[in-house]
Chain A
Amino acid sequence: MAYVHMKNPKLWVFLAVTLFLLIMPRLGSQYLSYLLLTFLGYAVALLGVNLLFGIAGLLSFGHALFFALGAYTVAFLTTKFGVLHMEAILLIAIVAGVLLGAAIGAVCVRYIKIYFGLLTLAFGMLFYSFLLKFYYFTGGDEGMRVLRPYLLGMDLSAVPKMQFLLGKYYYYALAALAVASFAMWRIVSSPFGLCLMAIRDNPEKANYLGIDVRRYRWYAFIISGGYTAAGGVLLAPVLGQVDPTLTYWTHSGTLVFMILLGGFNTFFGPMLGAFLYIFLQDTVMSLIPYWRFVFGAMLAFIVIVAPGGVAGVIGSLWKKEAARDSARNNADPGSERSA
């Protein structure tokens, strides 16, 4: 682990954001805190999606499938099987995500680039048609209800809805996000993560160096499946209702949009993207009904001008500052050097 200096601005930003996330439900408006709650679910899901996109270099246009899988698992378990413990639900959903990820991934990782994207889109839509047509099990296009799960064994059904969501549930989800982020950080920093990045940057060379390219991509797919499903689980009680549109290909597009907006090249970029997307969408929607146009234009702008996303822009501005600082220091040997 790199030594983190107390003066390191990144640390301060991290602490400020953590503080913000911790106290927001207490101070902010109910509605904004509710939005923040949806952000938590998406943030966990995006950790998984970006493992595949940013780290391994594979763009999936079907990952909403796992998101919906997680959400529907909560609906199924709470309404049809009477399983109410959140921990059990999370476990089952993650296992389902991992298994499905293994099956689908085995097929998809044999292909790259466009074919990978198209194949994942196909699987996503296959799941969509499955959810839609077998309405006897899944409620069809009306979807299914989600009952309130027990958190850490506590039955909180007596608590009024908003109080539950913005109180205990919020901190539960936030803790889940923290745990998930920490785990993903370890994965990305591990030799496995570095191998994925090597595969992303130059698959032939990685292969030549002895890395089993296909197998490692498969592992990345599996992990991302589990994470994205977990994100769906966290979001489901917030929505209260799940329906097939959760896996429609445009929702997968939204997941990718969020990552691109925040920046796929940094660890916290995708989360930043989810945050920006959710709050921007809310703001734009309240101003004009044509938010899709605005967002489409934003996406086009990002792809063309700033593919590194907001994090990328901040990063390059930072580097310019740092370069200017060091140039200033180096150019004038007579001046006092800063500490």
Chain B
Amino acid sequence: MGTDIINILFSGIFYASTLFLVAAGLQVVFGVQRIFNMACGSFYALGAYVGVFFVKTAHAAGLPPALSLIPLIAAGFFLFFIGPIIERGLLRFVYDRDETFQLLLTFAVVLMLEDVIKFIWGTSPQSTSELYLVYGQITWFGAVLPVYNLIVIASSLIIAVLIGYMLARTRFGKIIRATVDNREASEALGINMKVVYAKVFTLGTVLGTMGGALVIPSTAAMTEMGVELIVMAFAVVVIGGLGSMKGAFFGAMVVGILRSIAIATYPEVELLVIYLIVIGVLVFRPEGLFGGSRA
């Protein structure tokens, strides 16, 4: 029984780690630009597909499997250029429009990226499954835990800490917090919103692609990835509170662990339970656990 609990918690936290990255990307964009980026799931999918490609290429070039984490992280960073393309190319035209139109534009991006992926990689899943076992497993209180999962959890924690540090200490982080609090005052103080928006959106993009790349050894990259993930990511940010980093962290934990429990006990209710909680949160506490904005 004890090992079951450890297994459930562990796999829940693992899933939460990747979810956190994507959710963090969503949160930072929503907090600063007040745009709910439906395409974050597509960024996740892109990160996964490019991650597979980088790993395979690296292996073919002779990289030892144990160092596969490097091409994965590289894949996440490599895709940063998608951010400015979408932000400068599409999003900036709708900043002064109604929220609903901004949402619809990100939906258009979802559609386009879905076919971009299909165009480049086709419809069959891509994976590097052999990789997973390379890192081996450890035993902890009787539960068998894949080391790779531990690495991902550690990476996400490190990234979370880095984000927290950036927000609290660096100039960019302060600009972000200032803009979230009061956009007009920030602009009046001379902050160049265009540049901030571009940078923030790119940050959000990279967080999403990183999440997708890191999850690769444990799952295959598949066509439906992006569209399915947005559903989970959305649950995370609602539960945690739109716009809050802490919310992304705790929301991810809640969703990840709940999902894990559901899969282990009654798999039929996995989505059901999560969505009931989302609706409950939206009804009783729309700001979520940590959000500050009113409904």
Q: Does B104 contact A (CB under 8 A)?
A: yes
Q: Which stretch in A23-31, A107-115, A150-158, A327-335 binds the other chain?
A: A107-115
Among A86-127, those with CB < 8 Å from B are 107, 110-115, 117-119, 121-123, 125-126
Interchain CB contact under 8 A, B107 and A253: yes
**Contacts known (A253-B107, A296-B111); A115 close to B282, Cβ less than 8 A:** yes
- Chain A residues, Cβ within 8 Å of B279: 107, 119, 122-123, 126
Among A286-313, those with CB < 8 Å from B are 289-293, 295-300, 303-304, 307
Interchain CB contact under 8 A, A250 and B271: no
A134 to B275, CA, bound (A): 16
Considering the complex, give the chain B residue whose CB is closest to the CB of A256.
B104
A126 to B271, CA, bound (A): 7
Interface centre among B36, B112, B270 (most CB of A within 10 A): B112
Contact mask for chain A residues 122-136; partner B; CB cutoff 8 A; 1 contact, 0 none = 110110111011100
A202 to B2, CA, bound (A): 58
A292 to B235, CA, bound (A): 25
Q: Does B59 contact A (CB under 8 A)?
A: no
Q: Does A220 contact B (CB under 8 A)?
A: no
A170 to B105, CA, bound (A): 35
- Chain B residues, Cβ within 8 Å of A296: 108-115
Interchain CB contact under 8 A, B271 and A300: no
Interchain CB contact under 8 A, A125 and B116: no
Interchain CB contact under 8 A, A293 and B282: no
Considering the complex, give the chain B residue whose CB is closest to the CB of A135.
B268
Q: Does B93 contact A (CB under 8 A)?
A: yes
Considering the complex, give the chain B residue whose CB is closest to the CB of A304.
B93
Q: Which applies to chain B's interface (DSSP): helix, strand, loop or mixed?
A: helix
Min Cβ gap A299→B in Å is 4
- Chain B residues, Cβ within 8 Å of A219: none
**Contacts known (A129-B272, A133-B268, A133-B271); A300 close to B108, Cβ less than 8 A:** yes
A113 to B242, CA, bound (A): 14
Considering the complex, give the chain A residue whose CB is closest to the CB of B90.
A300
**Contacts known (A114-B99, A134-B268); A303 close to B119, Cβ less than 8 A:** no
Number of interface residues, chain B, beta carbon within 8 A:
43
- Chain B residues, Cβ within 8 Å of A128: 271
Interchain CB contact under 8 A, A303 and B108: yes
A111 to B112, CA, bound (A): 30
Interchain CB contact under 8 A, A122 and B104: no
Interchain CB contact under 8 A, B103 and A59: yes
- Chain B residues, Cβ within 8 Å of A122: 234-235, 238, 275, 278-279, 282
Min Cβ gap A270→B in Å is 15
A133 to B267, CA, bound (A): 9
Number of residue pairs spanning A and B whose beta carbons lie under 8 angstroms apart:
123
A295 to B103, CA, bound (A): 16
Interchain CB contact under 8 A, A293 and B116: yes
Interchain CB contact under 8 A, A129 and B104: no
Q: Select which of A113, A126, A256, A303 is within 8 A of B276 by beta carbon.
A: A126
Q: Does B133 contact A (CB under 8 A)?
A: no
**Contacts known (A292-B114, A296-B108); A113 close to B100, Cβ less than 8 A:** yes
A290 to B121, CA, bound (A): 13
A295 to B98, CA, bound (A): 21
A113 to B98, CA, bound (A): 9
Q: Does B165 contact A (CB under 8 A)?
A: no
Q: Does A260 contact B (CB under 8 A)?
A: yes
Q: Does A249 contact B (CB under 8 A)?
A: yes
Interchain CB contact under 8 A, A125 and B231: yes
Interchain CB contact under 8 A, A304 and B104: no
- Chain B residues, Cβ within 8 Å of A290: 115, 118-119
Considering the complex, give the chain A residue whose CB is closest to the CB of B237.
A118
Q: Does B208 contact A (CB under 8 A)?
A: no
Considering the complex, give the chain B residue whose CB is closest to the CB of A117.
B103
A297 to B100, CA, bound (A): 17
Q: Does B175 contact A (CB under 8 A)?
A: no
A215 to B108, CA, bound (A): 32
Considering the complex, give the chain A residue whose CB is closest to the CB of B86.
A300
- Chain B residues, Cβ within 8 Å of A129: 270-272, 275
Considering the complex, give the chain B residue whose CB is closest to the CB of A129.
B271
- Chain A residues, Cβ within 8 Å of B269: 133
- Chain B residues, Cβ within 8 Å of A118: 36, 234, 238, 282
Min Cβ gap B91→A in Å is 9
- Chain A residues, Cβ within 8 Å of B108: 296-300, 303
Interchain CB contact under 8 A, B105 and A297: no
**Contacts known (A125-B231, A128-B271, A296-B111); A303 close to B282, Cβ less than 8 A:** no
Given contacts A111-B295, A114-B36, A123-B279, 5 further A-B contacts (CB under 8 A): A129-B270, A298-B108, A299-B104, A303-B105, A307-B101
9 chain-A/chain-B pairs, Cβ below 8 angstroms: A118-B238, A128-B271, A129-B270, A250-B227, A257-B104, A292-B115, A296-B110, A300-B105, A304-B105
| Cβ-closest 8 pairs across A and B | A296-B111, A129-B271, A296-B112, A293-B115, A299-B108, A133-B268, A300-B108, A59-B100
